[in-house]
Structure 1
Amino acid sequence: MVEMERAKQRNITDQLYRVAEAFPEKAAFLHPDKLSFGSLIREIDRYAEGFREDGIGPETRTIVLITPGIDLFAVTFALFRIGAIPVMIDPGMGISRMVDTLTSVKAEAMVGIPRSHLLRYFFPRKLGTIQCWFSTGFCWFRRGVSLLSIPYINHCSKAFNMDAEKVAAIFFTSGSTGQPKGVIYSSRMLEAQIDILKRRFGYSGDEIDLCTFPLVGLLLICMGISIVIADMDMGHPSRLKPGRIIGNIADHGCTHMFCSPMVLKRLSDYGVGKGVKINSLNRVMTAGAPVLPQVLRDFRELLNEDAEIHTPYGATEALPVTDIAHKELLVLYENLNVYMGGICVGYPLEGIDMRIISISDGPVPSFNDTRILNENEVGEITICGPVVSESYWMNKKANKLAKVYERSTSKVWHRTGDLGRMDQEGRLWFYGRKSQRVESGGKIYFTIPVEAVFNQHPDVARAALVGVKKGKLKDKIPVICIERVKSKKRKIYLYKELRALAYENSMTVEIKHFLVHTRFPVDPRHNAKIFREKLSEWANLKLKL
């Protein structure tokens, strides 16, 4: 009984504190500043006591708007330590949209960089529920506290006993394919993520992580892994300078890196062009968008012989879900550089249950209200497991559309909104977002395989399938938008060649409309997911069907 109660009541920071107790002098951070685990804990304790004294307590919903770095880690763990609820959101979605999204949280506190506090003056009504304001720097506003003014304490801050099933954090989705949603994380889910990463990938405390995505860094540091904060603007990853990132890896001997496919391609192009070798990296993980086989081949050439590149599948609501390494992927794709059969994202991880169900845009209250598909049938990917969030914050509509309740087992399944199929080997193949499929003339066009047909063309940097409405018809007209590589070829000749490609494939034979776009709109988080909804609006204006 005591053990059951102890398992139910715990604090997510306990793992980090155990690491610090065992290895107080070991580096928690190596860059941009060096900080030991012992010193990190002192920062966390200092902030935790300061937050308590100034009104933040258990279940206080606290917006965190801090640039990725040591303060982001220390503040987040301090909030966990006292049982407060960190609310994390990507400002890259746009300030007005971010504030509108945060209104639903009814936050009671905010910790942010100095300029983030301008929000309280520009949006006083929308952020009117916030009573406690903390700044990471100089506190130039009234009714606020600077973290710099919080004194150090000479004792360990008391950990709040968190109920493993209650809300521990709220992480908002990027909103790349719809309205951002607040994903509820429990401490049980966070611990399950750490556990599944340890078991699947064999992480050890001897590793050094190059951090390009803070959520992953928060999990890794709990395992005793040293962190190097990448020299890049994580809010605008397309602005990165590859030479500086590769320099970070070389200077600190990084053994692990998680990054978006866009970042991987930029590093790959730079490394191949400069003849660079990155010998220290043993494990690279890339996720968030498709990564082309040629990028895997090129980046693999930069690594040591035993290094592996993993392309796991997951989402804010569930991370990670599947995994596969480059060796198997490159055998599957042989000499191809396109994904006409979908993108293989690997095998479900231990503890993850997965089903493919019929495509539907409406609610699926239970599996009795849908059909579970067979091997190689394309449908919506649904998942269940300890790393899967069971609900969104204050969003009945999203919960109704995204959750399936299995009465026989009392399990909650998450509908990912992604389409795919399971092959005979038990591997998952990704076909694109459900909301971005195009239905026309009784046929369904899936983004990933359709775009792959046109990505073969040497003058195409990347293609994007969108649907354009024609009059009052329910069906949409499939249109292919193209980002070109540098070429002097006239559009009329490019369109003719693209139509010829379309006619050669049964998937695309009826596609007749093509448009060249200067630069696709993409999501701010990974800078790789194409905003096809915005492209569709643009194509509609261009074609005027």
Structure 2
Amino acid sequence: MSAAAASANIARHLPRMAAAQPATPALKIPRGRTADGSIDYLTLSFAELEAEAAAWQSVLTQHGVQRGDRVLVMVRQGLPLIASVFALFAQGAVPVVIDPGMGRKTFLRCVERTQPRVLLGIPLARVLSHVFRGSFKSVQVRIAASGSSTARCPAKSAPTKLNVVTSATDELAAILFTSGSTGAPKGVCYEHGMFNGQVELIRQTYDIQPGEIDLPMLPIFALFNPALGMTTVVPEIDPSKPAAVDPAKILQAITQEKITNSFGSPTLWLKIARHCHRERRTLDSMKRVLSAGAPVSPELWGLMGPLLPHGELHSPYGATEALPVSSIAASSVLAETAAQTLTGAGTCVGSIIAGNTVKIIALTDGPIATLADATELPPGEIGEIIITGPTATQAYDALPEATARAKIATGNPHQPNPKPSPKPLGFERSNIGTSGASAPAWHRMGDCGYLDAKGRLWFCGRAAERVETAAGPLFTEQVEPLFNQHPRIRRSALIGHGRRPQQRAAIVIEPRDPDLLRSTKRCRELGRELRELTRDHPYAGRVTLFYFHPGFPVDVRHNAKIHRLTLTDWAETEATGFEVDPKK
């Protein structure tokens, strides 16, 4: 076997696809409208995209970028992002990708902690690196990138073929940041083997074929497409403000380019689905829609079915640290699990994807050194979800305490597996090079849930957001769906006052009509209606304290994850709640 064939470097997929389908469009970036109103795209074939990445690699070489260098990537989504990141992979450098829009202070803390040696950025990024010298003090090299999403690499007389270094499966490939929905964003250390594991899990789980056309509404997902042989159509969306997307533009792209696949958060797809229903349009070309980042609402499951005559909505479950873990399709949800969600069972996130092993362990907020120190729970009991598999990351960058809290070394649990672990699919990662462990660690998802009798995984909420009352714990996904059924409710959030295990449960309501907040009387009337709706439920019925909020704080990446801990602070310091007498 040649060194190139043995390499796990994720960049090797681009020249492979360029050789297999050189003339096939690899990337389309919108650059305006034609005279007839169609979207005008800059289109690059797979061969041209490899040449663009090779040009960036020559620029990196000219600037002295070495294997292992950390490179902060601050470029526009589209051609500069995809080409430069593949060039970095090929060079053996480590791209650092931090979500735009997380806030200046948070962003600067992430930069300072990550310690990049190189900045590859648009003009504004390079200016900021000088203005905030303290956070960028590790940067020794600055490489210019255009502020245009369609800009070509400025290199002259560059090679047209990537020179991909040979990388081991456990070699650091990239640092990607979590959304920070229940705390500060953390840099996740991705190895090349993990990227390869993700590609294969996604390919096999959803039967993705070369030649398909993808519209990724999360920019980082576009990086998988060259390995999958899919054409990437860049959406007209500001990644720092995804909720501001114009659904008409997304619909036009899907229709014009005959999109077959798209990933987007439930918030985005709900906006698009409502628009399609208003316009009486269907998405005839689509084979699948993937939606994740927060639980998919019953409304969205119902709306998407009529829009996809030749496809289906799927919801993969996972996190930046491990994705995908499980998946569920609309047919399963609508036939069975949606009704159970509305009665407080939690949200079913589907069957475990082959190659992964999932366990449920007893809840504890502290670190767990080895699996032998955890107690595995039987099917039906709610605990913390832990996972090991080809995509489970092993460490956070420069955060040893966070790593200790989130990772569990292998060992024998107190109870055996309820079912045999599935066999890997032939892309099992090798042992970890940096931790000294003999096998990949388990990742604690930070989520509460359970396995049912059919082996399906149910999500009940974030562990940090559970409410521990004297009468027992309450979980967000077992309470909020009951309130969300009310037609005048946009969404709700379970919060807890006080310290565990003596917390007082409360519910924060975001009404569909913001004018309702102007009238205390109307809020109280709605509170009584909600109380009557949930009175007899074993979980939601225990909530009698109500707050009303004009617009929930949510994560930037998906615009879907509710910041419940922020709402808790708001309720305790700024808001006035009211009690609905449980006896009336």
TM-score (norm 1): 0.94
Question: Mapping of 1:66-465 within 5 angstroms?
Answer: 66-137=75-146, 148-304=153-309, 306-333=310-337, 338=342, 340-407=344-411, 410-465=439-494
Query: Which aligned segments of 4 or more residues in structure 1 are displaced greater than 4 angstroms?
Result: 5-8, 334-337
Could you tell me how far apart the structure 2 residues matched to 1:544 and 1:204 are? 53
Could you tell me how far apart the structure 1 residues matched to 2:19 and 2:349 are? 38
Tell whether 2:53 aligns with 1:44: yes
Alignment-derived partner of residue 22 in structure 2: 24
Could you tell me how far apart the structure 2 residues matched to 1:8 and 1:366 are? 32
Query: Following TM superposition, by how much is the alpha carbon of 1:508 offset from its aligned partner in structure 2, in angstroms?
Result: 2.8
Bigger mean CA deviation after superposition, 355-364 or 509-518: 509-518
* Structure 2 residue identity aligned to 1:90: D
Alignment-derived partner of residue 142 in structure 1: none
Query: Following TM superposition, by how much is the alpha carbon of 1:6 offset from its aligned partner in structure 2, in angstroms?
Result: 6.3
Alignment-derived partner of residue 481 in structure 1: 508
Could you tell me how far apart the structure 2 residues matched to 1:386 and 1:56 are? 29
Could you tell me how far apart the structure 1 residues matched to 2:339 and 2:410 are? 43
Query: Following TM superposition, by how much is the alpha carbon of 1:474 offset from its aligned partner in structure 2, in angstroms?
Result: 6.2
Bigger mean CA deviation after superposition, 10-19 or 517-526: 10-19
- Change in 2 beyond 3 A, CA 1:491/1:47: same
Could you tell me how far apart the structure 1 residues matched to 2:209 and 2:16 are? 14
* Structure 2 residue identity aligned to 1:15: H
- Change in 2 beyond 3 A, CA 1:10/1:307: closer
Could you tell me how far apart the structure 1 residues matched to 2:343 and 2:269 are? 18
Query: Following TM superposition, by how much is the alpha carbon of 1:115 offset from its aligned partner in structure 2, in angstroms?
Result: 1.2
Alignment-derived partner of residue 143 in structure 1: none
* Structure 2 residue identity aligned to 1:372: E
Tell whether 2:533 aligns with 1:501: yes
SS of aligned partner of 2:10: coil
Query: Following TM superposition, by how much is the alpha carbon of 1:22 offset from its aligned partner in structure 2, in angstroms?
Result: 2.1
* Structure 2 residue identity aligned to 1:427: R
Q: What are structure 2's unaligned runs of at least 5 residues? A: 31-41, 413-437, 579-584
Could you tell me how far apart the structure 2 residues matched to 1:334 and 1:396 are? 39
CA RMSD of aligned residues (A): 2.1
- Change in 2 beyond 3 A, CA 1:12/1:411: closer
TM-score (norm 2): 0.88
Query: Following TM superposition, by how much is the alpha carbon of 1:335 offset from its aligned partner in structure 2, in angstroms?
Result: 5.9
Alignment-derived partner of residue 35 in structure 1: 44
Q: What are structure 1's unaligned runs of at least 5 residues? A: 140-145
* Structure 2 residue identity aligned to 1:501: L
Could you tell me how far apart the structure 1 residues matched to 2:5 and 2:367 are? 34
Could you tell me how far apart the structure 2 residues matched to 1:396 and 1:512 are? 41
Could you tell me how far apart the structure 2 residues matched to 1:11 and 1:101 are? 26
Q: Deviations along 1:193-218, whole A, 9 cap, x unmatched?
A: 11111222111112000121122221
Alignment-derived partner of residue 543 in structure 2: 511
Q: Is the contact between residue 106 and residue 184 of structure 2 (CA under 8 Å) also seen in structure 1?
A: no
Q: Is the contact between residue 63 and residue 111 of structure 1 (CA under 8 Å) also seen in structure 2?
A: yes
* Structure 2 residue identity aligned to 1:480: I
Query: Following TM superposition, by how much is the alpha carbon of 1:154 offset from its aligned partner in structure 2, in angstroms?
Result: 3.7
Q: Deviations along 1:302-347, whole A, 9 cap, x unmatched?
A: 122x311111101101111101111111001466773621101101
Q: Deviations along 1:459-481, whole A, 9 cap, x unmatched?
A: 21111011123xx8863221100
* Structure 1 residue identity aligned to 2:478: P
Alignment-derived partner of residue 525 in structure 1: 557
SS of aligned partner of 1:519: coil
Q: Is the contact between residue 464 and residue 532 of structure 1 (CA under 8 Å) also seen in structure 2?
A: yes
- Change in 2 beyond 3 A, CA 1:476/1:154: same
SS of aligned partner of 2:359: strand
- Change in 2 beyond 3 A, CA 1:10/1:474: closer
Alignment-derived partner of residue 12 in structure 1: 10
Could you tell me how far apart the structure 2 residues matched to 1:203 and 1:6 are? 25
